[in-house]
Structure 1
Amino acid sequence: MLPDGAAVVLGRRIRVVSGGTALLGGFPTRLVRLTPRARPLLDGRRIVVDSSAAAVLADRLLALGLAEPDLATLEAPADVRLTYVVPIRDRPRQLDRLLTSIGSGADVVVVDDASLDPAPVAAVAAAHGAHVLALPVNVGPAGARNAGLVAVTTPFVVLVDSDIVLEPATVPTLLRHFADPEVALVAPRIAGLGERPTWLGRFEDTRSSLDLGPHPAAVRPRSPLAWVTTACVVARVDALADGFDGDLRVGEDVDLGWRLVDAGWRVRYEPAAVAHHEHRERPVDWFLRKAVYGTGAQGLAERHPGHIAPAVLAPWSAAFVVLLALQRRWSWVAALGVAVAAGIRIGRRLRPIDHPYAEGMRLAGAGAVSATAQGMALLLRHWWPAAVVAALVSRRMRRAIAVAALVDVTLEYRRDPAHLDPVRFAIARRLDDLAYGAGVWWGAIRARSIAALKPAIVRTERRR
């Protein structure tokens, strides 16, 4: 549990309802009724740990994903000895830049994953006082990190790729989360270097798949923030006893995070800490890397069948999307009827709170918007090969793809144009989806499995 003086704040999507007697929200949606003893502990949207009861409540809300720790109230543990582990294959220029950002006096293990020319890597490491662990054969990022972890004797480890540049506050900020003894791993926000020499580079600086946005969150499967990259993380060494899955060349970071969560640990994303990444900018390299990311979905589907899905829908919201896709006059009315019926059903389950049906309709409306967005993502990203084939014979499918692409680009461009004109932004957006989707399908074809392509149909409203 959090120490005395620490505080948690309700998540931005969590609503305080019924005059402060209950909390509503989260993923999946939960209704948490507060006991008479717990209600006074909630001061607005904040709980300060100043008693055992407050500590228990704060811990419970953290475990449910309903609250976030207040970073300003956290202090790093007394023993913050740490080791940097840097997997690398060639790229001495990037290594020099990273080690310069780490600074002198740090304990650094550079794991040379069978570089084609190891001498420059060794020279850069020696110049910065880093220890080099040279592997005789290339084992990939997971295996290289595991080899480095064996050499770590400190309580904490910073796993950081060679193409990362750290800010002075990055690691100290992340260490503060370990005031919570249940936290195993914390990741910063991954931003671009800001050089933006090409239009793809400018797009990637604000639309990188590694950049998970401005809001802190718990990392939980099937939630809006389901994974973090280990391009840069701080972790508790004793929580990483099993290390990475060395058989995974892609998606090993997602697998690690999910195994930690399944084991009862907490994994957090903290955007107040920032690390900068050298994004790929050359079109072919950029496209192929996105496709490689997509191939990792199959390995994750085999290891975590309950976690990986291109869309997560409630039964009613799946029906809502199907009805919209039919594009018939009657289907629009039917889709509206399904959403209204869902709102009424949710409202019945929320009867202990004030205005349950208004809350039910609000949740159903949000679910309909989310389902529509996920449906568009299926067409444009995960299922695009099948959608293109269907479009050859179906005018409705062609219309659905066109509308989805227009809505997607309009909304995303308004949110952040990435210093690009609308045409190049739209091209980059679609190429990103095409590359990732192609990778997902290639992985599925090689494995002769559709596990990575199947949406998950689950109940999303829960009551506690």
Structure 2
Amino acid sequence: MTQPAAPPDLPLPPGFTVRLGRTVRSTDGGRALIGGAPTRVLYLTPAAVGMIEDRVLTVTSAATAALADRLLETGIADPVVDRLPRADESRLTVVVPVHGRPAALDRLLASLGPNARVVVVDDCSPAPEPIAAVVVAHGAELVRLEANLGPAGARNAGLARVTTEFVAFIDDDVVVEPGALSTMLGHFADPRVALVGPRILGTTDEEHSNWIGRYEQARSSLDLGRHPGIVRPRAPVSWLPGACLVARVSAIGEGFAPGLRVAEDVDLVWRLAELGWRVRFEPAASVRHEHRVTLVDWLSRKAFYGTGAQALAARHPRSIAPVVLAPWSVGVILALLAQRRWSIPVALGISAVAAARIARRLGRSEHPARDGVWLVSNGVVAALAQGAALLLRHWWPLAAVGCLVSRRMRRAVLVAAIADAALEYRRTDARLEARIDPLRFGLARRLDDLAYGAGVWLGAIRGRSFAPLRPDIRVRDSRSEG
């Protein structure tokens, strides 16, 4: 299999505009930017400070192009989507892998419109005639596989037929909203962008859906949120779902790893990121996905996703850890889990020492102590969230055993479960977006975690490796860069 190529060393074009991320903190009169993926402190020269106005930078020269590229690469800024060029969709071919479901295919092709260039790959459907009839009706090209290869192999078979500059991989249970493909294509004005994914929402009518469907509408595994970002391991958005992806053909080689039937989308994203390509998540472009809403199918799919962690551990051992923690944040978590009178004072003491250490590394800041406290405060919140995820998702079998013998463990799991459900309910606006009450949202949230975690353990046992369950403890208080 041909691996993706390295990105070209080309500048951003004139007019390309970026905006500092919503969580990026600007201090010292704009000279220091704190944020990115992973979090770092980026110090700017006085000339660079003058290039950014109201948190926005437009490329007008070689210097502004270099700064914009730096901000994009560190995850400190994102392209301003309204100023991206509206790309010509004739430069795009859509590849659709199918296995049965002609009605869903018909719905997808109708949403693409009559002028789309489409290759439908029938992955050895048991009844190929209805698929062929839909393809003919929409004027698409049909590729019929004699053996079932799975989504990765089917997409690659379609990719081999593509002659255009860009390709969109879209599953048949997706409906593309108007303008979504054009919006994603605009990101390729950045010559280092290889892959772009949209926000994936549900097709379910909430008024006639059950509680699982309403939960999926609010908190689907495929919905990566409202905010754009760079996609790579350790970033807030670390993967993109293969249900809908737009790619630069010259960047992705022969495409997906053909041997993977799960997590092939994550693998492609991480391989591209390792080579230096940029991968973008763009929620301004959205598509609709037909979520599973029956309990057995829903739980089976969540567990299936979890089994992919083992395959990723074999291919990307440094990127698959369920949590990434600094030693000091581990100390904070363990102190709080102890639930003793000394727990909070010790956790505060550890945090104070960590803040002082970070402050010493921020000698170029005007207020290093203040910035150190801000970084550690955010680190504590992130560490507690990761600790809760371990208890409720990745390590829940161990936590369950602990609950049988320890009152403190039962209390920790209960607090983590309630806090996690409440925060996610508020973050996703589940009451407004999906009309689901907090109790059923919380129940679905816990079942979601239990099923996914079970899949991770099943994959680890089958693969005889617990790499997907091992936390990554590393010294990474912050990154200070110029």
State the TM-score, normalized to the length of structure 2.
0.94
Question: What is the aligned counterpart of 1:442 among 443, 452, 458?
Answer: 458
Aligned to 1:433: 449
Residue pair 1:83, 1:156 contacting (<8 A) in 2 also: yes
CA distance in 1, matches of 2:442, 2:48: 49
Question: What is the aligned counterpart of 1:268 among 260, 263, 280?
Answer: 280
Aligned: 1:404 with 2:388? no
Alignment RMSD (CA, Å): 1.3
Residue pair 1:164, 1:275 contacting (<8 A) in 2 also: yes
Residue pair 1:76, 1:178 contacting (<8 A) in 2 also: no
Structure 2 residue matching 1:300: 3-state secondary structure = helix
Aligned to 2:145: 135
Q: Which structure 2 residues correspond to residues 343-354 of structure 1 after superposition, within 5 A?
A: 343-354=355-366
Q: Which structure 2 residues correspond to residues 63-462 of structure 1 after superposition, within 5 A?
A: 63-76=73-86, 81-196=91-206, 197-415=209-427, 416-417=429-430, 418-458=434-474, 459-462=476-479
- Unpaired runs of 5+ residues, structure 1, are none
Aligned to 1:48: 58
Residue pair 2:232, 2:270 contacting (<8 A) in 1 also: yes
Structure 2 residue matching 1:329: 3-state secondary structure = coil
CA distance in 1, matches of 2:235, 2:407: 34
CA distance in 1, matches of 2:346, 2:340: 10
Alpha-carbon shift at residue 36 of structure 1 (Å): 2.8
1:398-443, CA deviations, whole angstroms, 9 ceiling, x for partnerless residues? 1111111111122222332331122211211111001000000000
CA distance in 2, matches of 1:59, 1:408: 36
**Residues 34 and 429 (structure 1), Cα distance of their counterparts in 2 relative to 1, 3 Å cut:** same
Residue pair 2:204, 2:291 contacting (<8 A) in 1 also: no
Alpha-carbon shift at residue 70 of structure 1 (Å): 1.0
Q: Which moved more, 1:427-436 or 1:315-324?
A: 315-324
Percent identity between matched residues is 58
- Unpaired runs of 5+ residues, structure 2, are 1-10
Residue pair 1:217, 1:269 contacting (<8 A) in 2 also: yes
Structure 1 residue matching 2:322: 3-state secondary structure = coil
Structure 1 residue matching 2:194: 3-state secondary structure = strand
Structure 1 residue matching 2:64: 3-state secondary structure = helix
Q: Which amino acid aligns with 1:430?
A: R
Q: Which moved more, 1:200-209 or 1:188-197?
A: 188-197
Count residues with an aligned counterpart.
Answer: 464
Residue pair 1:292, 1:439 contacting (<8 A) in 2 also: yes
CA distance in 1, matches of 2:374, 2:32: 16
1:41-73, CA deviations, whole angstroms, 9 ceiling, x for partnerless residues? 111311111111101110111111111011122
Alpha-carbon shift at residue 76 of structure 1 (Å): 4.3
Alpha-carbon shift at residue 80 of structure 1 (Å): 5.0
Residue pair 2:160, 2:254 contacting (<8 A) in 1 also: no
Q: Which amino acid aligns with 1:218?
A: I
Q: Which amino acid aligns with 1:452?
A: P
1:279-328, CA deviations, whole angstroms, 9 ceiling, x for partnerless residues? 00011000000000000011101100111111111111111111111112
Q: Which moved more, 1:40-49 or 1:445-454?
A: 40-49
Residue pair 2:159, 2:254 contacting (<8 A) in 1 also: no
Alpha-carbon shift at residue 263 of structure 1 (Å): 1.1
Structure 1 residue matching 2:175: 3-state secondary structure = strand
Structure 1 residue matching 2:97: 3-state secondary structure = strand
Q: Which amino acid aligns with 2:462?
A: R
Residue pair 2:97, 2:154 contacting (<8 A) in 1 also: yes
Residue pair 2:57, 2:64 contacting (<8 A) in 1 also: yes
Alpha-carbon shift at residue 23 of structure 1 (Å): 1.3
Residue pair 1:287, 1:432 contacting (<8 A) in 2 also: yes
CA distance in 2, matches of 1:387, 1:79: 51
Residue pair 1:192, 1:277 contacting (<8 A) in 2 also: yes
**Residues 321 and 58 (structure 1), Cα distance of their counterparts in 2 relative to 1, 3 Å cut:** same
Deviation beyond 3 Å, 4+ runs, structure 1: 76-80
CA distance in 2, matches of 1:221, 1:341: 28
Q: Which amino acid aligns with 1:462?
A: R
Residue pair 2:358, 2:477 contacting (<8 A) in 1 also: no
Alpha-carbon shift at residue 198 of structure 1 (Å): 1.3
Q: Which moved more, 1:343-352 or 1:84-93?
A: 343-352
CA distance in 1, matches of 2:115, 2:377: 55
Alpha-carbon shift at residue 247 of structure 1 (Å): 1.2
Structure 1 residue matching 2:439: 3-state secondary structure = helix
Structure 2 residue matching 1:213: 3-state secondary structure = coil
CA distance in 2, matches of 1:78, 1:381: 43
**Residues 182 and 80 (structure 1), Cα distance of their counterparts in 2 relative to 1, 3 Å cut:** farther
